[in-house]
């Protein structure tokens, strides 16, 4: 391939830009030739000529959590709250994130203690290489996935499936102009992300007479930066053959859409219609609302709400894309109100006899096996191939929860009543008495009779028989499902053993403390009769058994701590201790140490203690805590 400056045929009109902007002359720089290796930060490591793995989007979004789990203190984080304080995260949200990391196989069982799995460590290593860290494999080069390529503007194609559509509003144009000027003044601070090459699109002809073509690449992230550079080219501020650094990403069409959506959500808020169309593309690619929500850190209800915005007429959808200060803009609240009015009198859906029976039997099973309208029931491996089930999912009557990862249904596909509102109506109306246990079986038999079937009478306490194949006969788990079920069983057994171990430790500690208390009572009774504390070695042994070994000492704050730093006597009030409190606590320390045969450590001077301890202190639990820890605690509380 000839060097970049020999390009002469460029794709006309590729920038889609305007002129007349204030120009800031681009500083000339020295760039290597297009496609030359600059660094290696691969998305996936290549071993033996094959790609071993690709970046997991959940891992990328939670790289900080993965690092904290990998670099955990010795013995692990004490609790999820401790980890949340370290990360500055909300405990509840962090708990959900850890559950997702476990379900993806990135975090080990009890991750605060055991950290990451091998897959999680591999993902984190790839992320750190992609961020410019060390760890590239020997011989890796930029033409490998995740490497950096230098391409001209004409070699990069915009993504036709990009969720962002607003390039022409005043707000978008102003942002684009500001970005253009920033790039010209400060350079491109972040690489574009591309996939490719696109062999079936053609290329840019090179003026070397050989008729070769330069490969074209499709944008995954950075279209605003690409368009800003295009405007600079139109205005003469950027040479057409100036190389642009791009990170090469391997991804299929679904991964491409997910990566582009994540990029847009991070860079600039998409308007509701752009987001809705992005979600729609992911649905068409085969993802459920729940899977989409998991990938973009949202909720299934949020995804469903945005998909409903596409039910608005074209004019209302256009109004939702206007700038926030435009009086013609249709707000999200107004859009919901419009949709609610449209659904006040929903048209009834006519189901085939088999689909109607499947819905009735599924709802019966959900209540009978699960216990509530938000519960799930398991179905056999062939269920997802059923046209009836797919129709019921598509109209919002049922939902597919994927394979259960925990509990008695682990490994099985689960379905439940969909969370849509209003719930679909049917013609003729479908009896919704399945939530009433006294009417549930009768309602099922009526639906089975309506389908022309003879209901099978069930004995007392037995569940009526189903005629829908994927409910009637669960069959055997697939190898994939069996693997999940085995993992769930092992996890439950491990958790049970861990609980038993903790119970045994607590019981052993309680027995030890009870024995220490009994021995202490004997010493106390002896002290009632004479002013003696007993054998010093016995006193010291009792203190060790109750985990408060001698010598004890008093801190400048008047708190009494044992030799292991555990608190013996906490302060009951805040503020500086009084002379009375200091005297009383010091007498307690002297008397206890003397009884155990230990010398009493001197009380440190507050000023020198602060200087020597580097602004450190003990917390209320008797554990070492620095001012930095206290600041983090205060921020977490705030």
In whole angstroms, give the CA distance from residue 619 to residue 138. Answer: 48
Percent of the chain with pLDDT over 70: 73
Most confident of 30-34, 167-171, 277-281, 563-567: 563-567
pLDDT in tens, 205-237: 433 344 556 778 888 778 888 888 988 898 888
In whole angstroms, give the CA distance from residue 103 to residue 257. Answer: 22
In whole angstroms, give the CA distance from residue 24 to residue 568. Answer: 69
What pLDDT was estimated at residue 47?
Answer: 32
What pLDDT was estimated at residue 395?
Answer: 87
Percent of the chain with pLDDT over 90: 14
In whole angstroms, give the CA distance from residue 296 to residue 625. Answer: 37
What pLDDT was estimated at residue 128?
Answer: 72
Q: Say whether pLDDT at 363 is over 70.
A: yes
What pLDDT was estimated at residue 533?
Answer: 73
pLDDT in tens, 142-174: 333 446 677 888 888 887 766 566 666 777 778
What pLDDT was estimated at residue 588?
Answer: 92
What pLDDT was estimated at residue 458?
Answer: 66
Q: Say whether pLDDT at 49 is over 80.
A: no
CB 320 within 8 A of CB 273: yes
Angle at 532 between CA 527 and CA 538, to 5 degrees: 90
Neighbouring residues of 3: CB distance < 8 A, sequence distance ≥ 6: 33, 34
What pLDDT was estimated at residue 51?
Answer: 32
* Pairing mode, strands 204-205 and 50-51: unpaired
Task: Give CA separation, 234 vs 61, 218, 240, 338, in Å.
Answer: 36, 21, 9, 43
Mean pLDDT, range 615-625, rounded to an integer: 44
What pLDDT was estimated at residue 344?
Answer: 63
CB 379 within 8 A of CB 415: yes
pLDDT category, 311, cuts 50, 70, 90?
A: confident
pLDDT category, 367, cuts 50, 70, 90?
A: confident
What pLDDT was estimated at residue 494?
Answer: 93
pLDDT category, 38, cuts 50, 70, 90?
A: very low
CA 527 to chain centre: 61
In whole angstroms, give the CA distance from residue 505 to residue 500. Answer: 9
Of 135 and 386, the structure prediction assigns the larger pLDDT to 386
pLDDT in tens, 501-536: 999 999 988 998 888 888 888 887 777 777 777 788
pLDDT in tens, 593-613: 998 999 998 876 655 544 444
DSSP 153: G
Omega before residue 351 within 30° of 0, cis = no
Structural domain boundaries of the chain? 1-40+141-251, 50-130, 271-345, 353-477, 549-637
What pLDDT was estimated at residue 12?
Answer: 33
User: How is domain 50-130 classified at the CATH fold level?
Assistant: Arc Repressor Mutant, subunit A (1.10.10)
User: How is domain 1-40+141-251 classified at the CATH fold level?
Assistant: 3.90.1530
Of 146-150, 418-422, 425-429, 481-485, give the lowest mean pLDDT range. Answer: 146-150
Instruction: Give the three-class secondary structure for 470.
Output: helix
In whole angstroms, give the CA distance from residue 13 to residue 603. Answer: 80
Most confident of 52-66, 428-442, 571-585: 571-585
pLDDT in tens, 409-418: 899 999 988 8
What pLDDT was estimated at residue 256?
Answer: 56
What pLDDT was estimated at residue 176?
Answer: 83
Of 187 and 593, the structure prediction assigns the larger pLDDT to 593
Mean pLDDT over each residue of the chain, to the nearest integer: 75
What pLDDT was estimated at residue 219?
Answer: 82
In whole angstroms, give the CA distance from residue 160 to residue 16. Answer: 14
DSSP 368: I
pLDDT category, 562, cuts 50, 70, 90?
A: very high
Q: CB burial class (10 A; 0-12, 13-18, 19+) of residue 532?
A: exposed
CB 142 within 8 A of CB 46: no
Mean pLDDT, range 240-259, rounded to an integer: 68
């Amino acid at each position: 391939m000839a060097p970049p400056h020999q390009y002469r045929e460029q794709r006309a009109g590729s920038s889609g830009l305007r002129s007349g902007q204030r120009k800031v002359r681009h500083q000339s720089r020295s760039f290597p030739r297009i496609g030359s290796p600059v660094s290696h930060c691969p998305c996936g490591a290549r071993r033996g000529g094959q790609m071993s793995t690709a970046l997991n989007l959940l891992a990328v979004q939670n790289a900080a959590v993965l690092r904290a789990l990998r670099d955990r203190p010795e013995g692990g984080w004490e609790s999820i709250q401790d980890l949340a304080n370290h990360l500055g995260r909300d405990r509840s949200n962090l708990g959900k994130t850890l559950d997702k990391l476990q379900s993806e196989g990135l975090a080990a069982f009890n991750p605060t203690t055991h950290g990451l799995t091998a897959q999680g460590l591999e993902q984190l290593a790839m992320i750190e290489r992609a961020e410019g860290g060390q760890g590239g494999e020997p011989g890796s080069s930029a033409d490998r996935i995740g490497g950096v390529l230098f391409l001209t503007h004409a070699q990069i194609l915009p993504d036709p499936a990009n969720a962002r559509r607003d390039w022409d509003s005043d707000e978008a144009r102003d942002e684009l102009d500001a970005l253009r000027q920033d790039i010209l003044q400060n350079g491109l601070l972040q690489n574009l992300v591309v996939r490719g090459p696109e062999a079936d699109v053609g290329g840019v002809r090179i003026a070397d007479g050989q008729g070769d073509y330069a490969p074209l690449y499709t944008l995954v992230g950075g279209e605003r930066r690409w368009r800003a550079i295009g405007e600079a080219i139109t205005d003469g501020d950027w040479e057409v053959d100036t190389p642009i650094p791009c990170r090469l990403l391997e991804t299929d069409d679904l991964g491409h859409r997910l990566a582009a959506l994540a990029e847009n959500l991070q860079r600039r808020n998409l308007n509701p219609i752009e987001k809705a169309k992005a979600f729609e593309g992911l649905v068409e690619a085969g993802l459920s609302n729940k899977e989409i929500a998991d990938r973009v850190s949202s909720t299934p209800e949020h995804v469903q709400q945005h998909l409903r915005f596409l039910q608005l007429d074209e004019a209302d959808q256009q109004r939702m894309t206007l700038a926030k200060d435009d009086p013609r803009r249709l707000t999200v609240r107004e859009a919901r109100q419009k949709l609610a009015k449209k659904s006040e009198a929903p048209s009834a859906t006519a189901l085939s006899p088999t689909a109607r029976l499947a819905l009735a039997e599924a709802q019966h099973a959900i209540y009978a096996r699960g216990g509530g309208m938000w519960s799930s029931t398991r179905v056999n491996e062939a269920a997802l191939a059923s046209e009836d089930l797919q129709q019921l999912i598509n109209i919002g009557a049922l939902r597919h929860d994927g394979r259960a990862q925990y509990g008695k249904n682990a490994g099985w596909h689960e379905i439940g009543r969909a969370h849509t509102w209003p719930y679909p109506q049917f013609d003729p109306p479908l009896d919704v008495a399945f939530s009433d246990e006294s009417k549930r079986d009768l309602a099922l038999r009526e639906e089975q009779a309506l389908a022309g079937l003879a209901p099978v009478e069930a004995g007392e306490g037995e569940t009526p028989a189903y005629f829908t194949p994927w409910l009637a006969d669960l069959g055997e788990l697939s190898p994939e499902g069996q693997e999940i079920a085995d993992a769930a069983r092992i996890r439950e057994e491990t958790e049970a053993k861990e609980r038993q171990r903790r119970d045994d430790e607590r019981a052993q500690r309680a027995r030890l403390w009870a024995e220490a208390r009994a021995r202490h009572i004997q010493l106390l009774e002896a002290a009632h009769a004479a002013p003696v504390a007993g054998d010093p070695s016995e006193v010291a042994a009792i203190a060790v058994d109750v985990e408060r070994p001698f010598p004890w000492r008093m801190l400048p704050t008047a708190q009494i701590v044992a030799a292991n730093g555990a608190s013996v006597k906490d302060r009951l009030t805040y503020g500086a201790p009084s002379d009375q409190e200091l005297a009383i606590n010091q007498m307690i320390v002297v008397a206890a140490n003397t009884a155990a045969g230990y010398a009493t450590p001197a009380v440190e001077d507050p000023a020198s203690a602060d200087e020597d301890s580097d602004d450190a202190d003990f917390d209320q639990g008797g554990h070492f805590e620095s001012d930095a820890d206290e600041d983090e605690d205060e921020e977490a509380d705030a």
